[in-house]
Structure formats: C-alpha cells, structure tokens
Amino acid sequence: MDWGDIVGVVDAVGEDVPPSRLGDEVMVYGGISCGDCEYCLAGEHTMCYEYEIIGEDRPGGLAEYVIVPADNVDPKPASLSWETAAALPGAFTTAYRMVVTVGDLKPAETALILGASGGVGHAALQFAEMLGATVYATTSTAVKAERVRQWADEVMDYTEVDFAKVAMDLPDGRRVDLVADHIGEETWQQSINSLGMGGRMVICGATSGPDPDIDIRSVYQHHRQILGAPMGSRQDFRDTVALAARGAVEPAIDRVLPLSELAEGHRAIENREVFGKIVIDPSR
Ligand SMILES: NC(=O)c1ccc[n+]([C@@H]2O[C@H](COP(=O)([O-])OP(=O)(O)OC[C@H]3O[C@@H](n4cnc5c(N)ncnc54)[C@H](OP(=O)(O)O)[C@@H]3O)[C@@H](O)[C@H]2O)c1
Ligand SMILES: [Zn+2]
C-alpha cells in the first residue's frame, strides 16, 4: 500500500504519446529523474540529484486517476493479476536492490532477513531463497513465523531469542554474509553483530528510528560493510517484474481494500497485523 505503487489502464495520453497506448494495462515505475546526469546515463536513476518519488514528491496512486510521465510506464504482464502487480513495485524492487543488485548474494552464502513478514522483508526473503542461499529470517509472532517458514531455512522470533547470538553460532561453521535490515535503530547493533568477517548489511529503511546507538568498531574491526539500497533503478524494476511474471517471486496480499477504507489499512499496518502487502482498489 504505497502511494507510489501504481497499476492501471491508460485513460488519456499527452501530446507526444501515440493514442494507440490508450487502453494499455500498465505498471508504473515510481521514480522520476532528470535523464541526463551521469547517474541517469549510467542507469542509476535513484542516484540522480533531481530524483523524485511519485506519491512522495508528487501526487501518487491512492486515487482513481494519476498523471505520470510516459517513460515511467511499462506493460503489465498478462500473467500478473491487478492485485499482484499492484503489490510489487516499491517493496519488491527495493528488496531486489538490497539482495541482488547491491547485496550481491551468492548461492553458497547465508543471508539474514529482518522484518520478514513486512512488504520489503517478505520480498527480500523470496529473492534470497530464489538465489539458493541459506536463509535465516526474523519475525515477531508464531503465526507470522509459520508463514515466513515457506521461504526460510530457519525462522527466529526476535521477541523470544537474541537473533545475533543465534547468527554467531550457526551450524557447520557458517557465518551470516548478508543481513537485510529495514528496521533501523532498534536492530542495527544486533544486525551488525550477526555478520561474519567482511559481511554486508544492506539497508533501506528506518521504521523504528534513524539514530542507532552503535559501536563503530563492530563495523570496521570485522571488515563489515553497510550498504544503502533505497528503491531500485529502472532495470531493477524491470527485472523484478519479469521474475514475478514467471512466478519466481510472489507478493503475499494480506487484504484488498476500497479507497474509502484506506485509514483501516493504515491502522492495520501500524498495529503490525499485516503479512505482506495491502492493496487499495479504487474501482471497488
Ligand atoms: N515498501 C517500499 O516500497 C519501501 C521502499 C523503500 C524503503 N522502504 C522502507 O522499508 C521499511 C519497511 O517497509 P515495508 O513497506 O516493508 O513496511 P511494513 O510492511 O510495515 O513492514 C515492516 C515490518 O517491520 C517489522 N518491525 C520490526 N520492528 C518494528 C517496529 N519497531 N515497528 C514497526 N515494524 C517493525 C514488522 O515485522 P515483524 O513483525 O515480522 O518483525 C513489520 O511487519 C520502511 O522503513 C520503509 O520506509 C519501503
Ligand atoms: Zn539524473
């Protein structure tokens, strides 16, 4: 349920866009960038100094109609339902960026995915599993853990166990090579401590707050790296959609609500009752 997660049918086009695109079923890439700076030319749109997010910096998708640049529009694969397509863009593209593009997770490596019941978390988990890595996950209740288990080798309820301790004592001498943390200040130190020598922490959010109290020696003395992965590039988006179209990953859709029940969706997210994504369908 992101302001920037938009799918729909083209209802009108601008002067430079062929009218033949009217009626197209499309998905929208949520980032807008200048198109000619060094980063845009390198395909790294989220690094553009003029980068904007549809739904944050300009009106977004929680509406019946939205105006977006034609360049941001891709065809919706026929194999994806509207709901599945709507649940993909932000969370899955960001997770792809974290685990695949930036995290560079390898099949022989071990990953630890935090907040595995959330939008980004359950997506990161699926990409890590898809790559063939050994995957550990954290979540907060037994009910969520049961669902997370379908994509993870081991699930930890972090309200019951110290996940960093478990991570430092894995069987067969394994070490966590990559931790995906979108939780923020509550978990940063534990996430860093979970990593083996030279391990990577990929980050995309600060849900619990942006000011972690950490010991920086726990980073440099173990050759660990902290890597930012906010959203994904246009190519990350296309790769993500292509993988979903062939069923390699699939969003868990907790519920579909009409626009009039948007507040109920926010309430459920704030109370952490949601598994995966909420989709808003303005046509209901
Ligand atoms: N969705 C996107 O498109 C996107 C893109 C870029 C960045 N981000 C950022 O990534 C973060 C996660 O986004 P999301 O869409 O995945 O959110 P979400 O669906 O609400 O998931 C957040 C998950 O974090 C876990 N959690 C652990 N500690 C928490 C705490 N103190 N408060 C709330 N949740 C806590 C919960 O899972 P458990 O109960 O399993 O622990 C919860 O399900 C946010 O900071 C967001 O700004 C999101
Ligand atoms: Zn640019």
- Tell me which residues of the chain have a pLDDT lower than 50: 1
210's tokens: 């942006």
Q: Tell me, what's the pLDDT at 117?
A: 98
Written as one letter, the residue type at 22 is: L
> Of the ligands numbered here, which is closest to the C-alpha atom of 54?
1
Measured distance CA(97)–CA(103) in Å, rounded = 7
Q: Tell me, what's the pLDDT at 172?
A: 87
Q: Tell me, what's the pLDDT at 2?
A: 55
Measured distance CA(281)–CA(261) in Å, rounded = 10
Residues having CB closer than 6 A to ligand 1 are 2, 90-91, 94, 115-121, 139-140, 144, 182-183, 186, 204-208, 230-231, 269, 272
Give 79 Cα–ligand 1 centroid separation in angstroms. Answer: 27
Contacts of 235 (CB under 8 A, 6+ apart): 43
Tell me how far CA of residue 117 lies from CA of 102, 125, 200, 206, 253, in angstroms. 22, 9, 21, 16, 11
pTM over 0.75: yes
Contacts of 18 (CB under 8 A, 6+ apart): none
Closest CA to ligand 1's atom 30: 208
Q: Tell me, what's the pLDDT at 173?
A: 87
Q: Are 231 and 209 in contact (CB under 8 A)?
A: no
Give 60 Cα–ligand 1 centroid separation in angstroms. Answer: 20
Q: Tell me, what's the pLDDT at 265?
A: 96
- Ligand 1 atom at shortest distance from the alpha carbon of 148: 40
Give 118 Cα–ligand 1 centroid separation in angstroms. Answer: 5
> Of the ligands numbered here, which is closest to the C-alpha atom of 40?
2
Residues that place a CB less than 5 A from ion ligand 2: 33-34, 37, 40, 48
> Of the ligands numbered here, which is closest to the C-alpha atom of 38?
2
What DSSP designation does 101 have?
I
Give 122 Cα–ligand 1 centroid separation in angstroms. Answer: 10
